[in-house]
Amino acid sequence: MGSDWVHQSSPRIDLRVGPRRSPDQAPVGVLEAMLNQISEENRRLTEMVRDMYTNYSALRRRLSYLASVAPCEKGSASPKRKRVDCDKHAASDGEHACKRSREDAMAKTSKVYVRTDPSDPSLVVMDGYQWRKYGQKVTRGNPFPRAYFRCSFAPSCPVKKKVQRSAEDKSLLVATYEGVHNHKRPSLDEVYTVMCASHINSSAPSIDPDVTRRPDVDRCLGEIESPKFDTALVEQMVATLTKDPNFTAAVAAAISERILRDSPA
Partner DNA sequence: CGGCTTTGACCTGCGC
Partner DNA sequence: GCGCAGGTCAAAGCCG
160 binds DNA (CB under 7 A): yes
**Among the listed residues 67, 58, 79, the one whose alpha carbon sits nearest the alpha carbon of residue 208:** 67
Q: Residue 81 CB, nearest distance to DNA (Å)? A: 4
Q: Residue 152 CB, nearest distance to DNA (Å)? A: 5
Residue nearer to DNA on the CB measure, 180 or 252: 180
7 binds DNA (CB under 7 A): no
- Name the 3-class secondary structure at 78: coil
Q: Compute how many residues bind DNA; rule: CB under 7 A.
A: 25
**Among the listed residues 29, 40, 48, 38, the one whose alpha carbon sits nearest the alpha carbon of residue 249:** 38
Q: Residue 112 CB, nearest distance to DNA (Å)? A: 16
Find the angle CA(171)-CA(71)-CA(223) to the nearest 5 degrees. Answer: 80
Q: In this chain, which of 60, 115, 133, 170 binds DNA, going by CB under 7 A?
A: 133
186 binds DNA (CB under 7 A): no
Q: In this chain, which of 10, 21, 46, 79 binds DNA, going by CB under 7 A?
A: 79
Whether residue 205 has a cis bond before it, omega within 30° of 0: yes
**Among the listed residues 63, 29, 1, 16, the one whose alpha carbon sits nearest the alpha carbon of residue 211:** 63
162 binds DNA (CB under 7 A): yes
Q: In this chain, which of 93, 134, 186, 262 binds DNA, going by CB under 7 A?
A: 134
Q: Residue 96 CB, nearest distance to DNA (Å)? A: 19
Q: In this chain, which of 53, 56, 144, 148 binds DNA, going by CB under 7 A?
A: 148
Cβ neighbours, 10 Å, residue 45: 17
Residues 240-259, one symbol each (x = binds DNA by CB under 7 A, - = not), give: --------------------
Q: Which amino acid is at 32?
A: E
**Among the listed residues 211, 228, 210, 219, the one whose alpha carbon sits nearest the alpha carbon of residue 184:** 219
231 binds DNA (CB under 7 A): no
Alpha-carbon distances of 103 from 100, 108, 146, 185, rounded to whole Å:
5, 9, 25, 24
Q: Which spans of this chain sit near DNA (rule: CB under 7 A)?
A: 77-81, 83-84, 87, 130-137, 139-141, 146-148, 152, 160, 162
